[in-house]
Amino acid sequence: IGQGTILQIYGTNLSNAPATATSVPLPLTLGGTSVTIGGLPAPLYYVSPNQIDAQLPYELAPGNTAQVFVSNNGAVTMPTSIVAAATTPGIAAFPTGQIIAQHSDYSLITATAPAAPGETIVIYLAGLGVTNHAVADGAPSPASPLANPVVAPVLTLNGLSVPVSFSGLTPGAVGLYQINFQVPKNAANGDTQLVVSQSGIASNATILPVHN
């Protein structure tokens, strides 16, 4: 799991009731529930009796095994082990595999509103790792200076490399990354396969509809 990424924890009796963080920085305790990973408190997006959404602390060293504990109003779970990684790119997508992406006006790209060749679009990701400007765990990402991943992502469309105009944390969000790029002017019409990789680690393969 990449440093700083968004992760899900599943179990039973993880909290007494659902609760969602309503402000940033993200809280370290939500509805009486807290999470520690490798001895570090994990910021919380959401908790419920069966699921927790948390941020993996950036400080966890890649390659090391970390113990995960959940505390629900003082009752602590048995530990679970995870291994932090420098990067584990993952592209936001619908269950169908279609990418969650936006046109330049921030409207959603869909099969009926596909990306156009030559258009600059935005895709969203998790797991791109540490950035050149450090951002505190749970803190909103800065708009100035922008925080770019130390390991530059490589984007391919139907197996061909596509230049990236921007990659980095999305300003104002926590743990969310984005990539801005221009759809190749010679891109074929139809569903194209989009993949992002870092240091040879490939993301999930997603579908980007394109039509001229």
Q: pLDDT exceeding 90 applies to what percent of the chain?
A: 97
58 close to 69: Cβ distance less than 8 angstroms = no
CA distance 161 to 138: 33
Residue 2: band (very low, low, confident or very high) from pLDDT cuts 50, 70, 90? confident
What mean pLDDT is predicted for residues 6-25? 97
pLDDT of residue 134: 93
- pTM, two decimals, is 0.94
Give the span between the Cα atoms of 119 and 193, in whole angstroms: 17
Q: Quick check: 160 pLDDT over 90?
A: yes
The tens digit of pLDDT for each residue in 22-78 reads: 999 999 999 999 999 999 999 999 999 999 999 999 999 999 899 999 999 999 999
pLDDT at 107 over 90: yes
What would the pLDDT profile of 187-203 be if each residue is shown by its tens digit? 999 999 999 999 999 99
pLDDT at position 1 is 82
Comparing CA positions, the residue from 174, 177, 203 lying closest to residue 42 is: 174
Residue 127 has pLDDT above 90, yes or no: yes
Res. 118 pLDDT band, cuts 50 70 90: very high
Per-residue pLDDT, averaged over 151-174, amounts to 97
Is 132 in contact with 152 (CB distance < 8 Å)?
no
Query: Alpha-carbon distance 21 to 122, whole Å?
Result: 25
DSSP codes joined into one string, 162-176 = E-EEEEEEPTT-SS-
pLDDT in the model for residue 86: 93
- For residue 112, the model assigns a pLDDT of 96
Say what percent of the chain tops pLDDT 70.
100
Residue 10 clears pLDDT 90, i.e. is over it: yes
